[in-house]
Amino acid sequence: MITLNAVHRYGKGTHNSRYMRKVHCKIPGIIYGKEFLEKELLILLEHDIVFNLQKNSNFFSQKLLINLDKKKFCVIVKDIQYHAFKSILLHIDFLYVNENI
């Protein structure tokens, strides 16, 4: 199982997302999961790590483990948004799943 380290994202909007991508080389993401989470979790991930992992087709079909503030979330990739002509990721969506399934 692949493990990714994430941090909470407190700012929302285009300006904040562009700033994080350009200055800190991080991509914004979100973890959904109505059944298991009270509300969505806004996160930031290292761009280069996720970009290299998503080149492998298994990345989209396997469970991932996200470490966020000493908590672990078992997720699958729901969607990735790419830039139109640059080879960068813009945003990634995860779906929280039960680890036992």
Domain boundaries along the sequence of the chain: 2-96
pTM of full prediction above 0.85:
yes
Asked whether the beta carbons of 75 and 94 are under 8 A apart, the reply is yes
Q: How do residues 3-35 score in pLDDT, each as one tens digit?
A: 999 999 888 888 888 888 889 999 999 999 877
Q: How do residues 53-73 score in pLDDT, each as one tens digit?
A: 999 988 899 999 999 988 999
Asked whether the beta carbons of 57 and 6 are under 8 A apart, the reply is no
The CATH fold assigned to 2-96 is Ribosomal Protein L25; Chain P (2.40.240)
Residue in 42, 38, 15 with CA at minimum distance from that of residue 30: 42
Asked whether the beta carbons of 37 and 97 are under 8 A apart, the reply is no
Angle at 90 between CA 7 and CA 63, to 5 degrees: 60
Helix/strand/coil for 101: coil
Asked whether the beta carbons of 91 and 56 are under 8 A apart, the reply is no
Residue in 54, 52, 61 with CA at minimum distance from that of residue 92: 54
Angle at 37 between CA 29 and CA 94, to 5 degrees: 30
Given this model, what pLDDT does residue 74 score?
93
